[in-house]
Structure 1
């Protein structure tokens, strides 16, 4: 089981961090573009994209810091298993909530000529050429998908960490009984 902790845990944190960086870039683009054009579909959508941006920054900063501590081999309080479990639990709640609310706000999965219940795509474009580019609906759908992926990766890492701790404790208890 130490092999799993030593090899899978940093790999999962790397995946979490890279996915958060992708989400960070996309949400930053959406916020900048919508602020520039003054065309937020509604206040709820604007708040959700900003929440996703916060989640992406939160995950990128702490995920990258944790990876650096593990790679560096530093025995740091914040790089411990307990802090990792707390951070993963909080991050699961943040991503799961944001993804679930975005799913309910988007109303549907297929991207048609409208932003799945928000507004006509032509409001997002200055020219007909721009309308043929990637529509806002697909960008919003990508934000939601990346949020679900983040939630899944964090949950998988949290479960893996808890199982590792449980197995490690069981091994320590059985080792101490053998010595007696």
Structure 2
């Protein structure tokens, strides 16, 4: 179970944070190679992710007050979010996302953008954490914190590789709904 849980945590982090990777690339691009500005981006990303994890863990612990037979039905949340994200991606196909570009790279701005952008992730994390239990939440949290370091490094890398950033921007909106729907269905499968 340990290796399986670790793989699930890595996969969930990657899929639910693809959009964060692109936003990080934009923030790092705006840092213009200034080390202090880059560290503000890193600090803001960690602050935002820590807030997302805190809300998710609190929600999962609150869900622990529910009868065990109800918890798998929390999978309806990521399923609904995935369907909405899929609908939004289909509706906005061919649209331009330039108005969503972050402006500056201050710690609080990066944290706020990370938290706002990851708000939908909370709806995914709460039911997964509730099913995973305390040990599972610890693994997920540790993977997400380590993944953030990788994401920051990758965001910095992408900030200097516009071709890669354009490819992720083009396909990330398709991967997210598919994975959210899959996560929701897997959680619902626990009810069977």
TM-score range relative to shorter protein: 0.3 to 0.5
Report which of the two structures shows the higher radius of gyration computed on alpha carbons. Answer: 1
Higher relative contact order (CA 8 A, sep 6+): 2
